[in-house]
Structure 1
Amino acid sequence: MTGEEPSDLIRSVSRALRVLEEVSRADRPLSVKVIARRCGLNLSTSYHLVRTLCYEGYLHRLPDGDYLPGSQVAERFHEMLESFERPPRASEVLRHLADASGHTAYLAQLADGRLMVVEVAEGPRSPWLEDLQAGLETAPHATALGKALLLSLPPHVRRGVLTGHGMRRFTSVTPSSVEELEEELAGLRPGQVVEEHGQFREDVACAGAVVPGTQWAIGISARGLTVPTPAAAHLALAVRDLAGP
């Protein structure tokens, strides 16, 4: 939840979403009693909500009476990803980048001040990064993708993005203040390949760059604290390919 509570908040909708969120983030199916306790709801209300969510396809009831997220959650997830108008040939360029470099390639943009990963092409030379998967949001200040996108913004807009969501430390070297990040970006120019070394995950390095004329960035990740020079070169070529003639 973000911002102030609206004066016309519909409580039943808010409660239903709270139930859906609690079931979705759980690492196992939940009973109605557990849902009620975790959501701070009475049992009768919880039964009404889970039955409605099951009817609409957003929850699925198991034979033992516990609940899992339903198929409609996946449908909305895919629709959300498809709503982003990717650059032409984005999937093809991303796959070629992963194949040519051997590193996982990412396509992302800023959405409401958060870094939204929209597409991923996996490569064997990169670690699995659970927070950089399609459909997930993360903070832009700690990632090369995010830094590249922040670099393309006017300074006052960039400051607003950073102060609006805070600057959480992911590792001991994550920049944690606007001044610290501005100092890091000072020597770079918009459109340049940006790197980060161990700021988002320990022993992982990433590189990212904005596609000229768009609000999209593509990037790669690598094991260790350096981005191999050949991989960075492949990234630069992919940026040019995605920008078109």
Structure 2
Amino acid sequence: MGAQDGPTLIASVQRAFRLLEVVGAHEGGAPAKQLAREAGLPLATTYHLLRTLVHDGYLRKLDDGGFVMGDKLYALHTGSRGQAQLTRIRPVLTALRDELSAAAYLTFYEEGEIRVAEIVDGPRAPRVDLWVGFEDAGHATALGKCVLRELDDDSRNDYLSRHPLADLTPRTITHRSELLRRLASSPAAPAVMDLEEYALGTVCVAVPVYSGHMLGSLGVSLRADRLSQVDQVRARLVPTASRVTRGLSLTI
């Protein structure tokens, strides 16, 4: 490679970013000639960059020939926003872990699945052995059951139709009617528990949280011999969940 390759590549990246900035200033889209003029780029260079950015999903070409932001840019923005939100609430989860000496978990219901977004654990607060993915264990974890209880009937039925109630321990609820009955009659609402249903020797408590309109759950796992402390745990989880919801719902 020649000695000029580095600066040339950097300049190309700068031109691409400049073009993206100009496209972003036109909500309804703008044609290539206008974009080239506003970005201060040669038309041939603009066409080349536009083809590349459209091909890679960063821009989208409209039927009228204009260009707008593509799905990949929106995905990048959403991902960075989610990371910033988690960074903001991680101290709250850490404080919860330290106060209760229990690993703290945060999940969200995304695209029909219950997914773990964050786990804050430590030497004195080890996480439960995630031997079965949470996506397939919603019926057996407090975190999953909390989400299932808060879902509307259609969403809950859709999830259960796609996820068999696998027998993970002798205590796991494996009959749909029994699971629904217990979700509807949870005496400790808004808290939900699992009593060694996911892993023997571990009990969990969870309460609902929201990130905007996205449903999730906040929970902790405890050794089964700490079951007598559940009331204390629940008393801390409820206000902490409110703090997490506020933190997640703030705009960035």
Q: Partner of 1:224 in structure 2?
A: 224
Rg larger for: 2
How far is the alpha carbon of 1:84 from its aligned partner? 7.9
After superposition, the C-alpha distances for 1:13-70 in whole angstroms (9 at most, x for unaligned) are: xxxxxxxxxxxxxxxxxxxxxxxxxxxxxxxxxxxxxxxxxxxxxxxxxxxxxxxxxx
Residue 6 of structure 1 corresponds to none
Q: In the superposition, relative to structure 1, how do residues 136 and 202 fare at CA in structure 2: closer, same or farther (>3 Å)? A: closer
Identical counterparts, % of pairs: 27
Query: Which secondary structure state, in structure 1, belongs to the residue aligned with residue 206 of structure 2?
Result: strand
Q: Bigger CA drift: 111-120 or 155-164?
A: 111-120
The 3 A distance-change label for structure 1 pair 227 and 237 is: farther
Q: Mind listing any 5+ residue stretches in structure 1 that lack a counterpart? A: 1-78
Tell me the equivalent position of 1:90.
89
Alpha-carbon separation, structure 2, partners of 1:127 and 1:139: 19
User: Does the C-alpha gap of structure 1 residues 195 and 124 become closer, same or farther in structure 2, counting only changes over 3 Å?
Assistant: farther
| Worse overlay, 136-145 or 181-190 | 181-190
Equivalent runs, 1:169-180 vs 2, <5 Å: 169-180=167-178
Q: Distance in 2 between matches of 1:141 and 1:84?
A: 30
1:157 shift after superposition:
1.9
C-alpha separation between the residues in 1 aligned to 2:214 and 2:93? 16
> Using a 3 Å threshold, how does the CA distance of structure 1 residues 83 and 171 change in structure 2: closer, same or farther?
farther
CA distances 1:208-228 after superposition (whole Å, capped 9, x unpaired)? 111155412110000016262
SS of equivalent residue, structure 1 residue 92: helix
Letter aligned with residue 85 of structure 1 = G
Instruction: Answer yes or no: is the 8 Å Cα contact 1:204–1:224 preserved in 2.
Output: yes
- Quote the residue 1:235 is aligned against: 237
TM-score, normalization by structure 1: 0.58
Report Cα offsets for 1:88-144 as digits up to 9, x if no partner: 6321211111111111000111234433111111155545423189x9744211000
CA distance in structure 1 between the partners assigned to 2:114 and 2:174 by the alignment: 17
Structure 2 CA distance for aligned equivalents of residues 116 and 208 of structure 1: 14
Q: 1:44-63 maps to which residues of 2 (within 5 A)?
A: none
Distance change (3 Å), C-alpha of 1:204 and 1:85: same
2:189 is equivalent to residue 187 of structure 1: no
Distance 1:83 1:174, change over 3 A: farther
CA displacement at 1:243 relative to structure 2: 2.3
Aligned to 1:165: 163
Is the 1:207–1:227 contact (alpha carbons within 8 Å) kept by the matching residues of 2?
Answer: no
Matches within 5 A, 1:21-40: none
Alpha-carbon displacement from aligned partner over 1:192-215 (angstroms, at most 9, x marks no partner): 111110111112100111115541
SS at match of 2:108: strand
Which consecutive unaligned segments of at least 5 residues does structure 2 have?
A: 1-75, 248-252
Aligned residue type for 1:232: R
Equivalent residues, number: 165
Question: Structure 1 CA distance, aligned partners of 2:204 and 2:139?
Answer: 13
Structure 2 counterpart SS, 1:208: strand
Q: Which structure shows the higher helix fraction?
A: 2
1:181 is displaced (CA, Å) by 0.5
Offset of residue 191 of structure 1: 7.0
Distance in 2, matches of 1:132 and 1:118, equals 17
Q: CA separation in 2, counterparts of 1:126 and 1:217?
A: 19
Q: What is the alpha-carbon root mean square deviation over aligned residues? A: 3.1
* Preserved contact between residue 127 and residue 221 of structure 2 (Cα < 8 Å): no
Q: Name the TM-score, length of structure 2 as normaliser.
A: 0.57
